[in-house]
Amino acid sequence: VGSPHAAPAASCPCSSSPSSQHTGLDLVPPLYPHKNHPGMGTGHRGSCHLSGGGKAIEGPRGPVHGDTAPSALAGRKLSGKAGIDEVMAAAVLTSLSASPLVLGNPPTTHAPGESMYLSSHPWTCVPQQDLTLLFLLLTRACDRSTPSTPSPPLSSHVPSTFLPGPLPDEGPDEPDGTHFVFGEPTPRKRKNSTKVMFKCLWKSCGKVLSSSSGMQKHIRTMHLGRKADLEQSDGEEDFYYTELDVDMEALTDGLSSLTPVSPTSSVPPAFPGPEAPLLPALPVLDLALASPCSPPGPPGRCHVHTDHAYQGWRWGCCTPSSPCLMTVVSSLSRAAGPPHGHPCPPLSPPHHHPSHRPCPGEPLPSCPTLSPLPRVRPRGEAKKCRKVYGMEHREMWCTACRWKKACQRFLD
């Protein structure tokens, strides 16, 4: 806890001035990584940790106390403005969907060999599937009345939001009272004035959990197929975070009407594929993100968690519960089924979920919607420890079974 805070931004070989994060670009919902690997900051990749620069360590996270929420929100950026939440949602999603593109935009600005450079910084060249690991930090202050104004086209919101420079009615600091301190553990309990939820934006999931740890657990086990208690990583995890606090209603409205995080719009620059951004790459986004290692804005508002370091997926190839991007997309239309055999669309080459990298020009289906499928929990046929050994021999169970987790001994 807290280790990300100490990330030496200055050691980033490509870092620009950290102070730039206090410019108007602060408002650009950043896509930035949270390195969560041991030895962070000691080397190559960790050196570009972005949470340094003080922004991440300042201030408590938002209006924890309900009675202080109004004042905490007052004077904050974006406070109480109608549609702001939608704006932020749109902004985040825009940046998310566009950032991998934008990071490389315009391609003409790339020095020779920059693509290699970019690819050496996983958080600057976020693999497409990583973008599917995305949390939305859903925050709702009960006192914050959100006018249910009909949402204009989101794209029309975004530009003004992203205009550089100080925004009216906004201080130079925290963009919102619901600040989510980077790396700060989510408090287990909050006053009921604030509802903080984490929404898994793994396509077709949409699971909403109340804790970030739970969300990470969820993503690891459900989407990454990683055994909860098996250390199968190489000890390094990449966490790409951008924070977002979105009014619940606004989010619901906004997201339901928003065509989100399209894989086709997140082709990394190293893989110049057919670009079909859902939203036009905004100039300001270009400004903010063109520099591959430019310090991000404030600790973001939307969590983009990526973890491509894990291996040892529960199933070799993508499955409904551990899908690759293709599968996720295709699963939008699939009927719920057991994880036997995976429904990779024929157009995609055989691939393994986390390691799948789109080839240049590889056609990617677009994600039509974020609406989650009704959760279907497939149940394996295999007898698990409980049945095999019985309750009376609980000590013989695998630890997962003992902990009422997915059995790791008798895999489906």
Do 233 and 309 touch, CB atoms closer than 8 A?
yes
Tell me how far, at minimum, the Cβ of 61 lies from DNA, in Å.
Answer: 16
Q: Which residues, other chains included, contact 380 with Cβ-Cβ below 8 Å and sequence gap of 6+?
A: 338, 410, 411, 412
**Strand 32-35, strand 238-241: pairing:** antiparallel
The rounded distance, in Å, linking the Cα atoms of 28 and 99 is 11
406 binds Zn ion (CB under 5 A): no
385 binds Zn ion (CB under 5 A): yes
405 touches which of DNA, Zn ion, none (CB within 5 to 8 A by kind)? DNA
Residue 153 or 403 with smaller CB distance to DNA: 403
What track of x and - describes contact with DNA for positions 301 through 340 (by CB under 7 A)? -----------------------------------x----
380 binds DNA (CB under 7 A): yes
Three-state SS sequence of 153-180:
CHHHHHHHHHCCCCCCCCCCCCCCCCCC
Q: Is the peptide bond prior to 106 cis by the omega test (within 30 degrees of 0)?
A: yes
Q: Can you tell me which of 131, 197, 325, 398 binds Zn ion, judged by CB under 5 A?
A: 398
What track of x and - describes contact with Zn ion for positions 336 through 375 (by CB under 5 A)? ----------------------------------------
The rounded distance, in Å, linking the Cα atoms of 412 and 409 is 9
| C-alpha 305: how far from chain center | 4
Q: Can you tell me which of 150, 409, 411, 412 binds Zn ion, judged by CB under 5 A?
A: 409
In single-letter form, the type of residue at position 194 comes to: T
Helices within 10-64 (DSSP H only): none
Tell me how far, at minimum, the Cβ of 236 lies from DNA, in Å.
Answer: 12
Give the CA distances from residue 382 to residues 245, 407, 408, in Å, rounded to whole numbers and listed in that order. Answer: 42, 10, 11
Tell me how far, at minimum, the Cβ of 400 lies from Zn ion, in Å.
Answer: 5
Residue 100 or 339 with smaller CB distance to Zn ion: 339
235 binds DNA (CB under 7 A): no
Helices within 174-314 (DSSP H only): 212-218, 248-257, 283-290
Q: Can you tell me which of 125, 222, 255, 302 binds DNA, judged by CB under 7 A?
A: 222
191 touches which of DNA, Zn ion, none (CB within 5 to 8 A by kind)? none
404 touches which of Zn ion, DNA, none (CB within 5 to 8 A by kind)? DNA
Q: What is the DSSP letter of 371?
A: P
Residue 22 or 409 with smaller CB distance to Zn ion: 409
Do 374 and 366 touch, CB atoms closer than 8 A?
no
Name beta bridge partners: 28. Answer: none
200 binds Zn ion (CB under 5 A): no
Contacts to DNA by CB under 7 A: 188-189, 207, 209-211, 214-215, 217-218, 221-222, 228-229, 336, 375-380, 383-387, 391, 399, 401-407, 412
Contacts to Zn ion by CB under 5 A: 385, 398, 401, 407, 409
